[in-house]
Amino acid sequence: MPDALINRLLRAPVGLRSRVRIAALRACGMQIGRRCRLVRVSVPTNPWDVRLHDGVALDERVVLLAFGPRRGSPRIEIGARTYVNRHTMFDASLSITVGADVMIGPFCYVTDHDHDTAPGVAPGALPLVEVETIIGDRVWLGAGVTVMKGVRIGDDAVVGAGAVVTRDVAPGARVAGVPARAVMPSAGRAHA
């Protein structure tokens, strides 16, 4: 059997299940644009808090966790044609915005809150500390990136695999590491 046919056969049930899933989530209040693809995503609470623009693709086991009382605007918004790879989680109590044409690698975690802490008190018993998190257009997050609350990642920025982003990233910057810092292409290696 030709390779292209094998791949089409493998994708056929995925496409069908995606359409059924999208219809069910829309019925629950999630705002999903046209030509989106959702492969076994998890929306544990507040589907009305998620807005996906046209052409968004969420791959297997992506988690869209939004929580808090119902309000007028979504807590998780993902821009047009953005792709999110497998096992990535968005954890929003206030607001996470992802731009258009963004590429998010597998096993990433993006949040907009911390637990407050105090000696002798369980973190879960304290209120959350919340600050809006924004990822710009055409950003690329490599595999296993963590984006902390309140961070703004500028348009066209690149975040290396395994980074923990604790501060804003300038548009077009390349950052990596824990905490994420600017990286320059290594000397002696060819870069366009």
Ligand X SMILES: CC(C)(COP(=O)(O)OP(=O)(O)OC[C@H]1O[C@@H](n2cnc3c(N)ncnc32)[C@H](O)[C@@H]1OP(=O)(O)O)[C@@H](O)C(=O)NCCC(=O)NCCS
Q: Quick one: 43 or 139, whose CB is closer to ligand X?
A: 139
**Bond before 127 cis per omega within 30 degrees:** no
Cβ proximity to ligand X: between 114 and 155 the closer is: 155
Binds ligand X (CB under 6 A): choice among 142, 151, 152, 169: 142
Under 8 Å between Cβ of 29 and 43 = no
Q: Does 14 bind ligand X (CB under 6 A)?
A: no
For residue 107, is it left (φ>0), alpha (ψ between -120 and 50) or beta? Answer: left
Contact between 190 and ligand X per CB under 6 A: no
Residue bearing tokens 């047009």:
80
- State the number of binding residues for ligand X (CB under 6 A): 14
Q: Taking contact as CB under 6 A, which single stretch among the options 68-76, 109-117, 120-128, 153-161 is the one that binds ligand X?
A: 153-161
Among residues 53, 87, 113, 115, which one is catalytic?
115
Considering only residues 14, 63, 131, 161, which one is a binding residue for ligand X as defined by CB under 6 A? Answer: 161
Gap between the Cα atoms of 146 and 178, Å rounded: 10
Q: CA-CA-CA-CA torsion for 75, 51, 167, 69, nearest 10 degrees?
A: 0
Plot region of 72 (φ>0 → left; ψ -120 to 50 → alpha; else → beta): alpha
Q: Tell whether residue 15 is a contact of ligand X (CB under 6 A).
A: no
Q: With residue 20 as reference, give the H or E element that holds it.
A: helix 3-27
Closer Cβ to ligand X, 14 or 173, answer by number:
173
User: 53 an active-site residue?
Assistant: no
**Binding residues vs ligand X (CB under 6 A):** 105, 142-143, 158, 160-162, 174, 176-177, 183, 185-186, 189
Which residues does the annotation mark as catalytic? 115
